Amino acid sequence: MKFICLGYADDSAWEGKSAAELEAMMEECFAYDDELRRGGHWIGGEALQSARNAVTLTVRNGETVVTDGPYAETKEQIGGILLLEARDLNHAVALMSKHPGIKVGPFEIRPADEEINALIAARELAAQQG
């Protein structure tokens, strides 16, 4: 099964850290990502810039409105997305519970919606075929 792991972080967790401390934390995360790769569990991932660089789109009175920043008003914002292959949710939890990123903030783990993703893949294929 495919799982999407949303890693959350509070930007203030990084404040006051030296460049060496930040680099060591990132290296610890990358090393565990390599473990996931070796085990055949890593599908992909993307780190995100600070939520301060985000915009949120909403519709009000039929018009698209662009607002600076994230929609959710919370200290923790999504910092990255990891795509994981696991047998089931318990296996995904076991794998991600060892990820060093949980020291910075929580991970939300959700199963991918394979039914909708199959529809998306079919549309992409149709678009490529013209």
Mean pLDDT in residue range 27-49:
95
C-alpha–C-alpha distance, residues 39 and 101, integer Å: 18
| Superfamily grouping for domain 2-50+77-128 | Dimeric alpha+beta barrel (3.30.70.1060)
pLDDT at 72 over 70: no
Q: Which amino acid is at 69?
A: G
Mean pLDDT in residue range 59-65:
94
Q: Which residue, among 99, 81, 77, has the nearest Cα to 25 in the 3D structure?
A: 99
At residue 62, the 3 state secondary structure works out as coil
pLDDT at 71 over 70: no
Q: Is the pTM of this model over 0.85?
A: no
Q: How do the domains of the chain map onto residue ranges?
A: 2-50+77-128
E-strand ranges in the chain read 2-10, 42-47, 55-60, 63-68, 76-85, 107-111
